Structure 1
Amino acid sequence: MKPFDKWFLSSASNGLENFHQFMTETVEIVKNYYKSLEKPYEHIGGEDLKKNIERYVKFEYEGKSSDAILASLKDLVMKHSLHISHPGAMAHLHCPPIIPALAAEVIISALNQSMDSWDQSPIATYIEDGVIKEIIKEINYPKSSSGVFTSGGTQSNYMALLLARNEYCAKHFSVDVSKQGLPVEAKKLRIFCSEKAHFTVQQSAAQLGLGMDSVVSIKTNEHHEICTDSLYKEIEKVKQQGNLPFAVVATIGTTDFGSIDPLGEISKLTGRENIWLHADAAFGGALLFSNQYRYLISNLKEADSITIDFHKWFYQPVSCGAFFVKNATMFEQIQLHADYLNPEEDTHLHLVDRSIQTTKRFDALKVWLTFQALGKQEFGDMVDYTIKTAKQTANYLQKRTDAEALNNPVMNAIVFRYQPRVIYMDDQEQLVYENGINQTIQQLLYENGQLIIAKTKFEGKSYLKLTMLNPLITFDETVKRLDEVFNLGKELDKKEERLRERSVIGSF
């Protein structure tokens, strides 16, 4: 027996027993906590948080007992985390992780393979490639296409603009950016996206040496989709200025509204202008498997590249995303061969040839195991159910006199706000009050922990947002939770009215 056997997976019985004990006890903690989980969040104030961190988060000279470790997991991590799986958590684009994917996480972590070269992850490499090919079939991409798993939309959007930039420079300036760097003309390159596009478009432009000023923001229409007429005019304007349009980013599911840019119309324009079209379907990519709403993204195949996040609407644990490109040869622009890793003469598939990452996880196992367990039919039913619930909820909000519903959801994101009854004579004072009361509602609900919703802004006004990804959310329960929102708003209104009465009395 070796001195450290118990800490590693091996044939040693004490190591396997220790693994089984840790895993069993951890699973019991999670199971027992969720068995009695009443609300998605147990708020902890600043001083209490500081005390807990000082108590639990420190490295001791000697390891702790199993009981002490379990206590810290229960009393700190589980108790004060935000539980995305609870139906009352409806703030951001976070999904409850599906159980088959949680099982896959155990295998992924136990194997601890790196997905950069074939010899480090032999079967895993081909499973990832197989999962990519299955998604490609759903997109209806040609056989010439390819893809790779990524950490998520930030990396995928970056890769799209990286390949688009390099391809443009190679074609128009005969410059290999990977070897020679950016040509002087690069300062004229321009990217177009809607004003509701994800901030990673600007972030990518900054990191790619193009600068955030290279991104041209296009106004949206009444459905919060990119206005194609405005896009055309801005492209013409940029060309007249002597600048170079090289990429358009269409958003397939905006963060706030879940709106889908009209890919069919955009692709006609980008095709005519020979501009790279990237579809950021980080949110909306799951519609590929919808049984009722797949038609909404029937033109996804027109994009030159695509982002899909599995850790949003595919119910995968973070992180889990993918990047797809219609022409697989585009990956050659980022390839660099190392003799110890992916030698040029090697015939094996090395995923590092498609990625800006070297070390990356076997996240494809989660997606594969999920579809093995559910099948496309049931998965599609879950996606459709969340849209149905969101549409019911939006309809309910539109009927309330104390609510302003800003959108009729295409997917499952709803933007609304409490409409206060306190009226100021001054419009600016009214706006400040309305914004303040909605921001306060969101904050108080968060601290109460019963309902976790997000806040956002539109045309200077503060709004609340429901992101209803969880298929465990029901319409009836949502109505009850929304009653809490509006009852809280009315209480805040009453406080404001009392303050105004005192102010009037005090003025005499």
Structure 2
Amino acid sequence: MTRSALLTHQTSAHYADTLHEVVERLAARVASVAAPFSGRPRDALARLVADVDLDDAPVGEARALREIDAMFVENAVWFHHPAYAAHLNCPVAVAAVAAEAVLAAVNTSVDTYDQSTVATFMERRLVGWTARRIGFDGGDGVFTSGGTQSNLHALFLAREHALAVHGSGVLTGAERASLQQRLLVVATQGSHFSVQKSALLLGLGEDAVVTVPTDGDGRMDPAALTMTLDVIARTDRIPMAVVATAGTTDRGCLDPLDAVADACDAVGAWLHVDAAYGCGLLVSPTRRHLLAGIERARSVTVDFHKSFFQPVSSSALVVRDPADLARTGWHAAYLNPDDAEEPNLVDTSLQTTRRFDALKLWVTLRALGADGVGALFDRVLDLAADVHRVVDADPDLRLLARTDLSTVLFRYQPSGTSDAEADRLVPEVRAALLASGRAMVAKTVLDGRPCLKLTLLNPDATLDDVRGVLELVKTEGSAHRRRPVEVAR
């Protein structure tokens, strides 16, 4: 690699020229996007990538960037397009995108103070701000790569707390292993899959995640939780943590946090609230009350790259008691010795080298204000409420569940269509829309039956935009419904 290929003071002009060209080309793409996806077939995309010889002679920056434009940008999924309504992906704040360019160019790593200096204080300030929004006066936390890591980190802290409380002093390996097999995590079927994955990674028993029944809207049943915790106590197991969800992935519903906290307090169980999706309510001017009781949790997951409209990645784990984070501590003489006077964020993180993702949120809050971000989230929640009414009134569509946030679960099922036929149509409709690139919806399973899912996180999308997506669903559903079924020979 030649010296001129790196960003240094000698290449600052080259850096500016290159970035300006890329930004202009990308801006033109954003302005001209006509569909959320190109619709290019999967095998064609695979060939497009396989045909590039990464061991071939270099082609130079200009050609390499044009190649990326044709290969990646042209075939990317565009979350800002109003016909994208599949997963928990959002269009991003322009201020945050600009901040992303800054942090990439500076390349700060916030693991130690001597690599990040002022960035350390900025992240800590944002963590403190988030903690106060939750209701954790004096709380602490750390930025993470996403909700999965935040949930893993929270359950790690809960595990270490449980071992300390129920163990007798310093545990031997055998004692620790034996006690650990008694630990249970209590959640609902609507909890994020990372709860089960975390239990596996933390070395808990195969039956370590206990499922609590929910009410008709998919929320944790507090009475069932109390009964579950009582059974756990009578079987000599330990409720290491109860995971409540403030915004389930499929239904977008919020568990009754105050009632769940009552049940946890009665037995001294660690309450973790996964608010990866619903954290936007922390700044909502109209719906903050939906998170009542979150301040009683011991730890909370927030995903700013969902409902704060941040580029991936931007997430955090926030704890009520800063002492809990000390359980993550690990000191290395060359990096963060235990006698260091400097504030080293690696002391409380599962990661070492870590991007300064907090910068994006900092700039967004300064540019738009917390109320401004909250108003954007309110817009998608208002849109979802309108879409629910539209779907419920459409004779060809069947609304399957209500939501507290911005998901819509439904099926194409005109009068006279059997459940079995509607089941068959769900994946076919989704696949047809993806193949065309015209719209993107997700599919999931609710109460044992497949269904289509809209996840609305675009504040600029209108009801007419979503009506257009629903019309495409109906068109594809009708076409596949009329298609004759081949008889096996």
TM range (shorter): over 0.9
Partner residue in 2 for 1:79: 74
- How far does residue 153 in structure 1 lie from its aligned partner after superposition? 0.8
Counterpart of 1:440 in 2: which secondary structure? helix
Contact 1:88–1:450 (Cα < 8 Å) also in 2: yes
Scaled by the length of structure 1, the TM-score of the pair is 0.92
Partner residue of 1:409 out of 403, 410, 413: 403
Mapped to 1, the partners of 2:160 and 2:44 lie a distance apart of 51
Partner residue in 2 for 1:474: 462
Mapped to 2, the partners of 1:57 and 1:30 lie a distance apart of 25
Matched AA of 1:479: R
Matched AA of 1:22: T
Confirm or deny that 1:107 pairs with 2:102: yes
Partner residue in 2 for 1:45: 41
Counterpart of 2:369 in 1: which secondary structure? helix
After the TM superposition, which of the residue ranges 393-402 and 330-339 deviates more from structure 2? Answer: 330-339
Q: In the superposition, relative to structure 1, how do residues 181 and 22 fare at CA in structure 2: closer, same or farther (>3 Å)? A: farther
After the TM superposition, which of the residue ranges 381-390 and 477-486 deviates more from structure 2? Answer: 477-486
- How far does residue 73 in structure 1 lie from its aligned partner after superposition? 2.1
- How far does residue 182 in structure 1 lie from its aligned partner after superposition? 2.6
Mapped to 2, the partners of 1:319 and 1:176 lie a distance apart of 37
Confirm or deny that 1:368 pairs with 2:366: no
- How far does residue 45 in structure 1 lie from its aligned partner after superposition? 1.9
Q: In the superposition, relative to structure 1, how do residues 57 and 437 fare at CA in structure 2: closer, same or farther (>3 Å)? A: farther
Partner residue in 2 for 1:19: 15
Q: In the superposition, relative to structure 1, how do residues 159 and 65 fare at CA in structure 2: closer, same or farther (>3 Å)? A: closer
Contact 2:180–2:204 (Cα < 8 Å) also in 1: yes
Contact 1:150–1:320 (Cα < 8 Å) also in 2: yes
Mapped to 2, the partners of 1:177 and 1:382 lie a distance apart of 50
- Superposed CA deviations along residues 423-469 of structure 1, whole A, max 9, x for unmatched, are 4xxxxxx4432211121011101111111000001122110000001
Contact 1:287–1:293 (Cα < 8 Å) also in 2: yes
Contact 1:100–1:373 (Cα < 8 Å) also in 2: yes
Mapped to 1, the partners of 2:36 and 2:55 lie a distance apart of 29
Matched AA of 1:52: L
Mapped to 1, the partners of 2:273 and 2:172 lie a distance apart of 24
- How far does residue 57 in structure 1 lie from its aligned partner after superposition? 5.5
Scaled by the length of structure 2, the TM-score of the pair is 0.96
Mapped to 1, the partners of 2:264 and 2:478 lie a distance apart of 50
Matched AA of 1:462: P
- How far does residue 91 in structure 1 lie from its aligned partner after superposition? 0.4
Confirm or deny that 1:353 pairs with 2:341: no
Contact 2:329–2:347 (Cα < 8 Å) also in 1: yes
Partner residue in 2 for 1:427: none
**RMSD between aligned alpha carbons?**
1.9
After the TM superposition, which of the residue ranges 348-357 and 40-49 deviates more from structure 2? Answer: 40-49
Counterpart of 1:311 in 2: which secondary structure? helix
Contact 2:80–2:458 (Cα < 8 Å) also in 1: yes
- Superposed CA deviations along residues 166-223 of structure 1, whole A, max 9, x for unmatched, are 1111112135579998341221111100111001111111111103411101121111
Partner residue in 2 for 1:426: none
Q: In the superposition, relative to structure 1, how do residues 7 and 129 fare at CA in structure 2: closer, same or farther (>3 Å)? A: same
Mapping 1:268-283, distance limit 5 Å? 268-283=262-277
Q: In the superposition, relative to structure 1, how do residues 4 and 200 fare at CA in structure 2: closer, same or farther (>3 Å)? A: same
Contact 1:404–1:416 (Cα < 8 Å) also in 2: yes
In the alignment of these two chains, the number of paired residues is 487
Mapping 1:449-460, distance limit 5 Å? 449-460=437-448
- How far does residue 50 in structure 1 lie from its aligned partner after superposition? 3.4
Mapped to 2, the partners of 1:85 and 1:181 lie a distance apart of 53
Counterpart of 1:362 in 2: which secondary structure? coil
Contact 1:7–1:18 (Cα < 8 Å) also in 2: no
Q: In the superposition, relative to structure 1, how do residues 95 and 211 fare at CA in structure 2: closer, same or farther (>3 Å)? A: farther
Partner residue of 2:451 out of 463, 469, 473: 463
Confirm or deny that 1:390 pairs with 2:384: yes
Partner residue in 2 for 1:8: 6
Matched AA of 1:164: A
Confirm or deny that 1:484 pairs with 2:478: no
Contact 1:247–1:277 (Cα < 8 Å) also in 2: yes
- The alignment-based identity, stated in percent, is 32
Matched AA of 1:154: T
- Superposed CA deviations along residues 242-288 of structure 1, whole A, max 9, x for unmatched, are 21122100001000011000110011111110000000001001100
